[in-house]
Amino acid sequence: MTTHLTWETLNDLVDDVLSPAAKAAAETHARDCASCATSLAELRATVAVTHDLPESVTPPEDLWHDVRATIEAGKVAHLPLGSVPAHARGFWVTPGRLAAAAVMLVAVTASLTGIVMTSQPATQTIAQAPLAVSVSWQASERVFQANVLALREQLEALHDHLAPETLVKVERALATIDLAIAEGREALLRDPANAALSELVASNYRQKIELLRRVTQLASS
Amino acid sequence: MRSSLLRIAFLAGVAVLTATQAGAQQKVDVRRAVTRDVYVRLNGAFSSLKVTGWQKDSLVMTGVLPRESRFEPAMGAGPGPVPGLKFYIEGAANTPVSGSLELFVPVGATVWAKSGSATIDVTGITGGLDLNIVGGSISVAGNPRELNIESMDGTVTVNGAPTWMRAKTATGDVTIRGSCTDLGITTVSGTITIRDGSFERSRVESVTGNVTFDAGVTRAGTLLIDTHAGTIDLQIGKASLDIDATTITGSITNSVTTRRPTPGRDGRGEELALSLGTGEARATLRSFKGNIRLIR
């Protein structure tokens, strides 16, 4: 066999649903091909790790207390204006890191939601320090940006797996979301205690990560 | 005479072309005993898939694929009913995706299907559905227990009452007619239309897509609609609802009561809180710069 095992075949091999002949052929190839052997090992490790994961995760009680304490302390910090430095292309393109990105996505979403839920009610006065958001929000944005970057790099590495017209649609949709995030952030800087606004901005963040996750999965399958 | 010869030559050409096309296809005919809750996974290059739930403990897949396609069924060994099957279709390089498949599975089956640009129609499944396309369309009729749909620009239409449903699109429009206990829909710029039936917990999010909700919210239920620039139309009917509407720069129109919206926090946008009937359910509507309309 001269071509590498497909992602589907690797999954079928791990799931043990290949026919005996196909299974034997795939295993023979994996023995002789270092690349496929590595992919297979990583896939098996990922599956093993996911089996060990709990079915649901409840955030620790003191997490929200910490978030609230941070907000109530009135600490503010300026939003970072520069972009996050780029990493090497393709760094994230492994199943294990894909799983890690998914875990990070959950963490970001939970974090943003937590901050929003513990934000001050809309009836309170607007924060005194303009053009600033809470430290917690800033931290969440940093995590969000790191996730976007990771998914972007992954997508770039899988660029050739997607049809050009699909990439155009994706970039157009991402531009729409980016514009919405920029408008939302600008408004949030003027009114950082606006809970409804925080929710709307968080919603756009989620949309962007979710879209990148979907298109990356699409490209890797 | 000459025109007759031309006509015969033309017809002969058509016949040869038809035969070539027929010869360029491979037939798919898979039949297998399966468990009632069989898990079926179908991934790859097909342009049309019709899935039908039936009251039999067997799976049948028929259809045609281009001859160059590689069709790989993985159905396990042994004669007994199998709990899971996988099908993988690899299309030929530099060839437009085609191929039409029809799949019959027990009603309680879970079907996972993924393709590029495809039309997927599903009827009569009460198990689970996980459908993923780039373009084309997805249509589901029936009451699946779980329904997950992801599409880039393909349209999504659901007629029925899934218990749990998630639909995510980039530009594809989403239309739901029916009911749902736990609903989540997100789109970047597609429109979202929800009509008829009643919904218990619903979360609807768009960036620029317009949202229309013209259905009931069950007692003690919640409806949350967030959009950045889309319009939100809430058709209230006779619903008993507590409504909390907020825009950051958009406007709110209330055609349900005489209550007028108040200016937003920093003088921009509007806010409106209403309690209709005994207010057993709650609707939260938030828009950054789109308008919100409450319509009786």
Pairing of strands B135-142, B117-123: parallel
Please say if the pLDDT value at position B126 is more than 80.
Answer: yes
The tokens 């709307």 sit on which residue? A200
Q: Is A221 near chain B, with CB under 8 Å?
A: yes
Which pLDDT does position A100 carry in this prediction? 53
The average pLDDT across B147-161 equals 96
Cross-chain Cβ contact A19/B43 below 8 Å? no
- Sheet strands (E) in B91-127: 100-106, 110-114, 117-123
Residue burial B219-251, b: 16+ Cβ < 10 Å; e: rest: eebbbbbbbbbbbbbbbbeebebbbbbbbbbbe
Cross-chain Cβ contact B132/A190 below 8 Å? no
Burial of residue A136, with CB atoms counted within 10 A of its CB: 0-12 exposed, 13-18 middle, 19 or more buried: buried
Which pLDDT does position A86 carry in this prediction? 38
Judged by average pLDDT, the poorest of A11-15, B88-92, B104-108 is A11-15
In a mutational test of the A interface, the residue from B39, B75, B151, B188 whose CB has the highest number of chain A CBs within 10 Å is B188
CA diameter of chain B: 87
Please say if the pLDDT value at position B78 is more than 90.
Answer: no
Interface of B with A (CB under 8 A): 43-44, 72, 74-77, 84-86, 88, 90, 114, 116, 132, 134, 150, 152-153, 168, 170-171, 186, 188-189, 205, 207-208, 226, 228-229, 246, 248-249, 265-266, 271, 286-289
- Look at the alpha carbons of B20, B31, B88, A208 in this order and tell me if their dihedral is positive or negative: positive
Which pLDDT does position B246 carry in this prediction? 96
Q: For residue B6, what are its two tokens?
A: 């031309």
Cross-chain Cβ contact A163/B205 below 8 Å? no
Residue A113's pLDDT band (cuts 50, 70, 90): low
d(CA A47, CA B101): 31
Residues with Cβ within 8 Å of A133's Cβ and at least 6 positions away in sequence, in order, are A76, A77, A79, A141, A188, A189, A192
* H or E, element range at A44: helix A34-52
From the list B76, B189, B288, which residue is nearest A200 (CB)? B288
Which pLDDT does position B27 carry in this prediction? 93
Which pLDDT does position B18 carry in this prediction? 36
Q: Is A5 near chain B, with CB under 8 Å?
A: no
Please say if the pLDDT value at position A123 is more than 60.
Answer: no
Q: Tell me which of B260 and A93 has the higher pLDDT.
A: B260
The average confidence (pLDDT) of chain A is 72
Percentage of chain A lying above the pLDDT 90 cut: 16
Angle at alpha carbon of residue B34, lines to A21 and B148, rounded to 5°:
100
Angle at alpha carbon of residue A39, lines to A38 and A42, rounded to 5°:
85
Please say if the pLDDT value at position B16 is more than 70.
Answer: no
Residue B292's pLDDT band (cuts 50, 70, 90): very high
From the list B86, B153, B287, which residue is nearest A17 (CB)? B86
Q: For residue range A125-174, what is the model confidence (pLDDT) as tens digits?
A: 334 444 567 777 788 888 888 999 999 998 888 888 888 888 899 999 99
Cross-chain Cβ contact B43/A206 below 8 Å? no
Pairing of strands B180-187, B192-206: parallel
Q: For residue A89, what are its two tokens?
A: 């292309």
Q: Are B105 and B111 in contact (CB under 8 A)?
A: yes
Residues with Cβ within 8 Å of B278's Cβ and at least 6 positions away in sequence, in order, are B240
Q: What is the ipTM of this complex?
A: 0.83
Please say if the pLDDT value at position B61 is more than 70.
Answer: yes
Please say if the pLDDT value at position A117 is more than 60.
Answer: no
Q: For residue range B216-254, what is the model confidence (pLDDT) as tens digits?
A: 999 899 999 999 999 999 998 777 899 999 999 999 999
The average pLDDT across A36-55 equals 74
CA distance to A62, A102, B61, B168, B294, per residue, from B133 (Å): 41, 21, 20, 11, 34
CA distance to A221, B160, B178, B203, per residue, from B165 (Å): 23, 11, 12, 10
Q: For residue B213, what are its two tokens?
A: 């909700």
* H or E, element range at A3: none
Using CA atoms in the order A53, A59, A61, A66, what is the torsion angle rounded to 10 degrees? 130
The average pLDDT across B160-184 equals 97
Which pLDDT does position A106 carry in this prediction? 54
Helices A95-117, A135-157: crossing angle, 10 deg rounding: 150
From the list B75, B114, B208, which residue is nearest A176 (CB)? B208
Residue from B74, B41, B38 nearest B53 by CA: B38
- Give chain B positions within 8 Å (CB) of A176: 188-189, 207-208
Which pLDDT does position A93 carry in this prediction? 42
Cross-chain Cβ contact B189/A173 below 8 Å? yes
- Give chain A positions within 8 Å (CB) of B188: 173, 176-177, 207, 211
Residue A182 neighbours by CB distance under 10 Å = 11
d(CA B135, CA B150): 10
Alpha carbons within 13 A on the beta-carbon side of B203: 10
Quick check: helix, strand or coil at residue A102? helix
Q: For residue range A172-200, what is the model confidence (pLDDT) as tens digits?
A: 999 999 999 999 999 988 888 888 998 99
Angle at alpha carbon of residue A207, lines to A206 and A209, rounded to 5°:
65
CA distance to B195, B200, B217, per residue, from B279 (Å): 21, 14, 11
Please say if the pLDDT value at position A109 is more than 70.
Answer: no
From the list B86, B208, B288, which residue is nearest A12 (CB)? B86
The average pLDDT across A87-113 equals 49
d(CA A32, CA A30): 5
Which pLDDT does position A84 carry in this prediction? 39
Q: Are A168 and B135 in contact (CB under 8 A)?
A: no
The average confidence (pLDDT) of chain B is 89
d(CA B48, CA B69): 14
In a mutational test of the B interface, the residue from A178, A214, A215, A220 whose CB has the highest number of chain B CBs within 10 Å is A214
Cross-chain Cβ contact B90/A218 below 8 Å? no
- Look at the alpha carbons of B223, B227, B230, B231 in this order and tell me if their dihedral is positive or negative: positive
Cross-chain Cβ contact B74/A17 below 8 Å? yes
Quick check: helix, strand or coil at residue B96? coil
Residue A124's pLDDT band (cuts 50, 70, 90): very low
Most confidently predicted of A59-63, B32-36, B70-74: B32-36
Q: Tell me which of B204 and A109 has the higher pLDDT.
A: B204
